[in-house]
Structure 1
Amino acid sequence: MGKKTGKDKEKEDKEAFEALSLESKAPATMVLLLSSQEEDILLKASEALQKFAEKGEENKVMLLGLGVLGPLCKLIDHSNKLIKRNALMTLGYMATNGEVSEALKKEDFIPSLLQKLTPEEDVFVHEFATLCLAAVAVDFTCRVRINANDGMPLLIKLLSSPDPDVAKNSLEIIFNLVQDLENLEVLHELGAIPPLLELLKSDFPVIQHLALQIFQCVTTDLETRKTFREELGFERFLDLLDNMEFNDLHAEALQTVSNCLGDIETLHIIHLNGGLTRLGEFVLTPSSPEIQSIAIKCITRAAQSSESRKVFHEQMIEKVLVELLSAADDNVKASACQAIAAMSFHPCSKDRFRELEGVPIVVQLLNSESSVLKEAATQALSSLTHSNEANALAVYEARGHEILIQQLSESSAITVASSVATISNMAEQEIIQSSILSLGGVQALVEPLKSTDTQVLMYTAMCVAHLVCDNEERDKFHKAGGLKPLVNLLHSNDKEVLRHACFAVNVCAGDTASAVTMCRLGALEILQEINQSANRRNSFSKLATTSLLNSNLPVKYNRLGRLTANDIITSNFFDAGQARVGEPFLTLEELISQPLNQQRAIIVFNVPVEETVEPVEERKPSPTESEIKKGRMTPKRRREKDKPDEEPQDVLAEKSPIISGDVSLLMLVKEAKDSVLSLTDEREQYAALARLVSDAMGGAVPLEKLHKLDWVLHQSDLRFQLKSNVIPIGMINKGTYCHRALLFKCLADTIEKSCTLVRGDYNRAWNEVLLFEEVHENLRSPEPLCYIVDLMHQPGALLPIDSPAAQQYQSI
């Protein structure tokens, strides 16, 4: 090989590029330099960008706009450690900005970041790699990528990092990851519980808070709680609660304690290890009201389980709660009341609260100005008095029912619902019920019935059923306007509200006036629709329908066309004919007020009070239309001939037999009592009554002469005379099947003889009676036989129900 000549060296020097020192204050230039192949330039550019990004949020957004993310994401894998570190630092600083973190989610850099979490990398790399991951881990898709690249085990190992920033960032990522159920369930398998417990001792509050937040999440999982228990996690948490230096952590720690107490197996172990005693002591230990309230709520949550309540009862938790009722802070007292309400589902706890004098204290809390405390106290009383007469009596003795009635006008639905429920519980005892009624308890229920809250409506309807126990209270409820909102509840889509509303309607229907009003409000039609619905009918809907009909016999006969022997007709019963589809059922007052029309007459049964009736020698026939035109007076007018010819309309109305009473009917009743009841043979009694009815309504009519009865014209004359579509039955001298059967039923019920009333077609109606047959002397048939009473053709004849004669009598 020859040596280089001077000419060669001179040529080489000419081709070499002199080193150039660059200075720039433009970030865009530095971003462009990130694409350089020279490490020195990359190092200087990345370092400059890192310092620029660290200065403020505006710089981070500016760099984002200059497109720095792409080049930086490539440089985090650079072989030069300083370039890689600068790139990670820049990304880390920028990732804390919301706009940047959103943009980062679109970059495929998560696998590269996770590779930087290995033990081989230095702590500095761990810090900024986890900082970037923490920024994007709030996004579900990013969490999926972290899991897909086995990021969780790496992060758990970093919990033990000596660098607090690495531990903090790792905790943030893990907290976001455990929001997904699959991560929640496997965290204990990856060994996360021990390092998380160790971080509770950290000198950095932010790390402690993050660890506690993770525990709140993971202890909702059963298997994780088991591992937590095995690692003595509950004891560690109690130690934390005992340390007042960590009182800023107590609220979050108690959330985890609450999760543990919800697990009965864990609860038993905690109980055996004295954990509940320590918890009770902590609850009573003076601390901030907020912490005390949270601690009590832990007990409340755990007490949702029957087994937990049993354990708490053995631990005498009732004594702790009663003591807390005297706390200075209203929120603490409210939390104690809520815990009492939960514990009161345990029967023995109810008794213990009373023995500890807790009931009167809760009653006094009803007077609080705090709506929250008032709600909680009312809820506690509702639970305490449920199926416990002694507690109900204790509330009564403390005059709690007086306050509860006043609370029915409160705006809080919770307070009203609990108040009504408590009143309902207390009303089961007669002495308390009487006091509630005397204080206007029934009238106070009307307003809650108009509520839109389902709990209020359900308990109020139930309370109505308990309090509206006799006709006097039903009348008060009726006059207070309670029937309309009660009937409206029958439209409810809530099954419990509907069931209790049907129950209340059933009870209110025991009063005839209330039953009539509810029918006028459409209750019967609504109930019939409910009973036809497989989803809406309930155990009380059919019962309510039956009660409404049984208390309103005119409606029952109108709708069903049948009255049983148990349906006893009384004054003001009327026959409005057979029901027509879509036609409302009018009351007697409404029918009387109608002008004359061409529809069928309304037949009314109205017996006057006997003491006010003038004696009448005999039942005179009603005047015909021609007699009225000639000026012939009725017997009543004869007796009144000395009175002025013109009398006020209201006086005339009062004297009308429709209103004042049917004198002719009274004479028939007297005659029935004298002639029928004097007979000893029951068959003869029915036959005699049948003949009396037949004679009163035109006598026997052969079947072939039925068309000559002229009953229609006769009733038209009566309607013209009375100027009303309503005719008292005693004034009818010519009647067909339907009129005679109605009169027979009315008289039979009046003299306490048993029979039915059945409506057929085409003005047919008949009565059925049950009689025992004489088999031998002094020996009767074991079962009574049913007969139809002939009132038309052979009055007094008893036709066996299945005989051809009976079939002919029932049909044309």
Structure 2
Amino acid sequence: MGKKIKKEVEPPPKDVFDPLMIESKKAATVVLMLRSPEEEILAKACEAIYKFALKGEENKATLLELGAVEPLTKLLTHEDKIVRRNATMIFGILASNNDVKKLLRELDVMNSVIAQLAPEEEVVIHEFASLCLANMSAEYPVIQLLALKTLGVITNDKESRTMLRDNQGLDHLIKILETKELNDLHIEALAVIANCLEDMDTMVQIQQTGGLKKLLSFAENSTIPDIQKNAAKAITKAAYDPENRKLFHEQEVEKCLVALLGSENDGTKIAASQAISAMCENSGSKDFFNNQGIPQLIQLLKSDNEEVREAAALALANLTTCNPANANAAAEADGIDPLINVLSSKRDGAIANAATVLTNMAMQEPLRLNIQNHDIMHAIISPLRSANTVVQSKAALAVAATACDVEARTELRNSGGLEPLVELLRSKNDEVRKHASWAVMVCAGDELTANELCRLGALDILEEVNLSGTRRNKFSEAAYNKLLNNNLSLKYSQTGYLSSSNIINDGFYDYGRINPGTKLLPLKELCLQEPSDLRAVLLINSKSDV
């Protein structure tokens, strides 16, 4: 065997660089290398620049001054994957510098960065391309704005809200609200928070982390009307849940809402009033607004804006329902006149709400007398004639609550209010028919009004209603009986008996039994009939003809 000859190691080519070690003083040299046509040199230069940029903001600024950004942008689309990857990593770091971001916008590199998110690229490229886009989006407010608008849509879904919460999305949203420089994003951020607050778990989390108190403080102290309005809307949406209302009450949300009532912006006033309406389901909140809130809402009833008046009236309706103290507070705040004025509003909701407040007030006799002195019987006629069934129902209920004495009923009768009330007995709406029957029952408390109601056909309509298995109700039956007690001749003919409280006076006549649905002829018509062999009509008349 021949002796092996040791192969000599060839020296490295003279035109190949040794591994690069970079210090800040050599940065300019490496930046120049970014223009090299050699892929290996480009990859090494990018790696060195990446490490250099990681050391801090000063180095990023240095790279910008040395002109590194422009050649690096060209490397984002380089054929070599390693060069492309290293360039993307550099931009993920450099893009946090404001001056670099400004230049990148001018160079229009967003499409090149987005292209790095292609599925076939490495995960590390995806990560640094995403980092670059995230850093860039903070001067691109339009990107953040679109992101928030997108979140505003997808967080209508419960699962999406959960994902946002689990990924600390709420913390980021609160930080946006706390950053004055991002005030153009506050409205959209609030819209997302409003959706999230519908979930009890989210509400608890934001309350435990102090975010809820920040949100309320932000809403109260903001000087931007749309932000205050959206904050109030967020509270309204969340307050439909009883547990959320409880948490809001613990955070003294009422103080924030009362402050918003004083806004100069009508939209904010409306939103705050609606939030108060929602919070009224909490008894503690309802009590809070007794001294703070009700006086301000009364003032809003005088607004020139019909929507403001409607929202304020709704809040007052909810506050005074089943709460005599709040009804009294509304009266003490001089609320009767404004409420009666709202009965002539152009908005059905405002009319219905005002009628509800007046009904709630009238449950207390001193307040009822005060309401009667403000011409309620004349003001309620227009709502009784409304085509809206809710307004009809609430107006009839207001009559039932206020026509409790002869004077009030006389005023209603003289004002022409009985006719539209009787017409409501024909309504196909169960609630309207029930409340109208209730009002007729109250108005039939004196003979003159009862006779006028009968003349207008109330008795006939009620008789027809009570013959129906689906349309009758306990109030239609009670109203019919009350009217019969003021028409004893008809009662005796229909039922065959009178109660011990039915006092027969002159003019009572016994025609004999008639079947339900049969009309009893008036005495005047009977007197005009010729004598016959039919049963005699017996007339009570104690007065002497002499």
TM-score under structure 1 length normalisation: 0.49
Aligned to 2:326: 391
Contact between 2:239 and 2:275, CA under 8 Å: does it hold in 1? yes
Q: Does 1:495 align with 2:430?
A: yes
CA contact (8 A) 2:427 2:433 kept: yes
Given candidates 128, 140, 161, the residue that maps to 1:225 is 161
Alignment of 1:641-660 (within 5 A): none
Who is 1:63 aligned against? none
Shift of residue 513 of structure 1? 2.6
Residues 553-612 of structure 1: per-residue CA shift (max 9 Å, x gap): 122123333323443323332334444676544555x648x74546776544344xxxxx
Question: Are 2:402 and 1:485 equivalent residues in the alignment?
Answer: no
Partner of residue 370 from structure 2, selected from 417, 421, 435: 435
Give the Cα separation in 2 of the matches to 1:379 and 1:439: 21
Structure 1 residue matching 2:407: 3-state secondary structure: helix
Q: Secondary structure at the match of 1:447?
A: helix
How is 1:273-672 mapped onto 2 (pairs within 5 angstroms)? Answer: 273-355=209-291, 357-579=292-514, 584-585=519-520, 587-588=522-523, 591=525, 595-597=528-530, 603-607=538-542, 662-663=543-544
Partner of residue 213 from structure 1, selected from 142, 149, 171: 149
Q: Whole-Å Cα distance in 2 between the matches of residues 299 and 347 of structure 1?
A: 17
Q: Look up the match of 2:62.
A: none
> What code does the residue aligned with 1:422 have?
V
| Alpha-carbon distance in 2 for matches of 1:587, 1:481 | 24
Task: Judge conservation of contact 2:493–2:510 (CA < 8 Å) in 1.
Answer: yes
Distance 1:473 1:241, change over 3 A: same
Check 1:583–1:528 CA distance in 2 against 1; reply closer, same or farther (3 A cut). Answer: closer
Shift of 1:335: 1.8
Residue identity in the other structure for 2:418: L
CA contact (8 A) 1:270 1:276 kept: yes
When residues 572 and 244 of structure 1 are mapped into structure 2, their CA distance, relative to the original with a 3 A threshold, is farther
Residue 436 of structure 1: CA displacement? Answer: 0.8
CA distance in 1, matches of 2:540, 2:370: 40
CA distance in 2, matches of 1:583, 1:296: 60
For 1:286, the aligned partner's letter is: S
Measured in 2, the distance between the counterparts of 1:538 and 1:440 equals 31
- Equivalenced residues, count: 425
CA contact (8 A) 1:520 1:586 kept: no
C-alpha change, 1:369 and 1:586, in structure 2 (3 Å) is farther
Stretch deviating more after TM superposition (561-570 or 442-451) = 561-570
Sort the Cα spacing of 1:520 and 1:576 in 2 relative to 1 into closer, same or farther, 3 A. farther
Measured in 2, the distance between the counterparts of 1:199 and 1:373 equals 43
Contact 1:200 1:207 in 2 (8 A): no
> In 2, distance between residues paired with 1:277 and 1:222?
24
The offset of 1:389, in angstroms, is: 1.5
| 1:779 alignment counterpart | none
Give the TM-score normalised by the residue count of structure 2.
0.71
SS in 2 for 1:409: coil
**Are the counterparts in 2 of residues 471 and 511 from structure 1 also a CA contact under 8 Å?**
yes
In structure 2, list runs of 5 or more residues that go unmatched: 1-80, 85-108, 119-129
| 1:394 counterpart letter in structure 2 | A
| Cα offset, 1:254, TM superposition | 1.9
Q: Superposition pairs for residues 48-127 of structure 1, below 5 Å? A: none
> Please, which moves more after superposition, 385-394 or 562-571?
562-571
Question: Shift of the alpha carbon at 1:434?
Answer: 0.9
Q: Which whole-Å CA distance do the structure 2 matches of 1:436 and 1:532 have between them?
A: 37
Greater alpha carbon shift after TM alignment, 222-231 vs 470-479: 470-479
Q: Measure, in 1, the Cα distance between the counterparts of 2:506 and 2:415.
A: 26
Cα separation, partners in 2 of 1:587 and 1:509, compared to 1, 3 Å: farther
Q: 1:164 to 1:289 in 2, by over 3 A?
A: farther
Please give the per-residue CA displacement for 1:259-293, whole angstroms capped at 9, x wherever unaligned: 11111222122112212111111112233212211
Equivalence map 1:148-187=2 (5 Å)? 163=111
Q: Aligned partners of 1:560 and 1:511: how far apart in 2?
A: 22
Aligned-partner Cα distance in 2 for 1:380–1:484: 32
Structure 2 contact 494–516 (Cα < 8 Å) conserved:
no
Instruction: Work out whether residues 336 and 374 of structure 2, in 8 Å CA contact, stay in contact via their aligned partners in 1.
Output: no
Q: Which amino acid aligns with 1:262?
A: E
**Higher CA-based Rg:** 1
| Counterpart amino acid of residue 234 in structure 1 | L
Shift of 1:380: 1.7
- Is contact 1:258–1:299 with CA below 8 Å preserved after alignment? yes
CA distance in 1, matches of 2:322, 2:506: 43
Per-residue Cα deviation, 1:630-687 (whole angstroms, up to 9, x for no partner): xxxxxxxxxxxxxxxxxxxxxxxxxxxxxxxx227xxxxxxxxxxxxxxxxxxxxxxx
- Equivalent-residue separation in structure 2 for 1:586 and 1:166 (angstroms): 92
Letter matched to residue 528 of structure 1: E
SS in 1 for 2:474: coil
SS of residue paired to 2:509: strand
Shift of 1:466: 0.9
Contact 1:262 1:305 in 2 (8 A): yes
1:199–1:208 CA contact under 8 A, matched in 2:
no
Any conservation in 2 of the 1:199–1:207 contact (CA below 8 Å)? no
How far off its partner does 1:203 sit? Answer: 4.1
Distance 1:455 1:441 in 2: 19
Q: Is the 1:486–1:505 Cα contact (8 Å) retained in structure 2?
A: yes
- Aligned residue for 2:126? none
1:200·1:211 contact (CA, 8 Å) conserved in 2? no
**Counterparts of 2:507 and 2:402, CA distance in 1:** 28
Per-residue CA shift, 1:701-759, capped at 9, x if unaligned? xxxxxxxxxxxxxxxxxxxxxxxxxxxxxx9xxxxxxxxxxxxxxxxxxxxxxxxxxxx
